[in-house]
Amino acid sequence: MDRAELIGTGAALAFHVALIGALTLSLAQVHSTPEPPSMEVEFVDEVGLESTAPTSIATPPPVAQAPETGPAEPNVVPPPPTPVPLPQPRITPAPQRPAPAVRPAPPRQTKPAPAKPAPSRPAPRVSRIGDDFLKGIESDDLSPRSGPAKPAAPAYNATARASIGQSIIRQAQRCANRQPFLGEGANKVRLTVNLKLNRSGRLARPPAILGTRGDADDVAKYGDLLEDQVRRIFAECSPFRLPADLYDTPNGGWNDFTFTYRVD
C-alpha cells in the first residue's frame, strides 16, 4: 500500500476506537430499574365484621396562651462617669538672680585731732589725819563678813539633862496615878532608871532598873514591887515628847537617858 492508504487506514482505526470508548462510558452510566419489594400474604379463616380502622380521637385545639411577662425592668440610670483629675501643671520657680555684691565703702580717713596740752598736775595735798588713826580699832571689825552666822549647835549640858528628866517624869505621872498604893515607905525608895528611846520618843527596849536607894527595910519590902511598877509606868506612857535637836549630840542626848525616879 502506498502512503495515502496507510494514513486513511490509521485514521479509520482511531475513529472506531474512539467510538467504542464513548459507547462504553454511556452504557456504564445507565441505572438498572429496581425490583418492587416482596409482600407477605396470610390466609385468615374468619373475617371480622367490625371495622378495624383506628378510632380517631378529637384533639381539642390548643389554647392560645399569652406569653408570660415578667416585672418590668427598672430604668437603671448609669452613674455619672468619675471625673478624671486633670494633671496640674508643674510650676517651675524662676531662678533667683543673685543679689549684686555690695562693695564696702572705703573707710573715711579721719584727720588726727591736734594734741591737747597736758594739764598741769596739782600739788599733792597733805592729809591732816595722822597715820595712827586706825589704832584702837579691832581688826575683826575691819574684816569682811562672809554671810550670816550659823546658829550654834544645841548644848547638851547639865541644865538640858535636868530639863529632859523633869519632862519625862511629868509625862509619866498620869500613868503612875493609875498604879496601886504599895504601902507606907514605898515612896521613900528611889530607883535609878535607864531608858533607850527612838527618835519618835518610843521605848527601844523595856525600861532597865539600875539600882535602888533608901531605907534598907523599905528596899527589902518594896524593892521588887517598885521595879515592876516602874517598868509598867514608863511602858504605858511611851512615847514621850522631847526636843528633837537634843536626841543625839556630840555631848550625848536623850536617846540613852538615865535618871532617878520615885513613885509618889
- Mean pLDDT is lowest, of 20-24, 137-141, 155-159, 188-192, for 137-141
Of 213, 212, 194, 195, nearest to 204 (Cα)?
195
Rounded alpha-carbon distances, angstroms, from residue 28 to 22, 69, 118, 164: 10, 65, 167, 165
- Which residues sit opposite 191 in a β-bridge? 212, 261
Q: How far is CA 50 from CA 46, 55, 57, 107, 183, in A?
A: 12, 12, 18, 156, 164
- Which pLDDT score is estimated for 28? 61
* Domains parsed from the chain with CATH numbers: 158-262 (3.30.1150.10)
pLDDT interval class at 50 (50, 70, 90): very low
Query: Residue 67 is placed in which grid cell?
Result: 406569653
Task: Tell me the HSE value of 150 on the side-chain side, using a 13 A CA sphere.
Answer: 3
Give me the pLDDT at residue 94, please: 59
The residues facing 232 across adjacent strands are none
Residue 219 has pLDDT above 90, yes or no: yes
How many CB atoms sit inside 10 A of residue 101's CB? 6
CB 242 within 8 A of CB 168: yes
User: Rounded CA gap, 241 and 172, in Å?
Assistant: 11
Whether 237 contacts 141, CB under 8 Å:
no
Dump pLDDT digits (tens) for 153-183: 678 999 999 999 999 999 999 999 999 999 9
Q: What is the pLDDT of residues 87-132, one digit of tens each?
A: 665 666 555 665 656 566 656 666 656 566 555 565 555 445 455 5
The whole-number average pLDDT for the span 192-206 is 96
Q: Using a CB cutoff of 8 Å and minimum separation of 24, what contacts does 62-70 make?
A: none
| pLDDT higher than 80, residue 253 | yes
What predicted TM-score, i.e. pTM, was given to this entire model? 0.44
Dig out the grid coordinates for 38 from the structure.
Answer: 416482596
**What mean pLDDT is reported for the chain?**
74
pLDDT (0 to 100) of residue 68: 53
Phi, psi of 18 (to 5 degrees): -65, -35
Q: What is the pLDDT of residue 134?
A: 47
Please state, in angstroms and rounded to a whole number, the distance separating the CA atoms of residues 194 and 257. 6
Residues 50-72: what's their mean pLDDT? 50
pLDDT score, position 113: 61
Q: How confident is the model at residue 23 (pLDDT cuts 50, 70, 90)?
A: confident
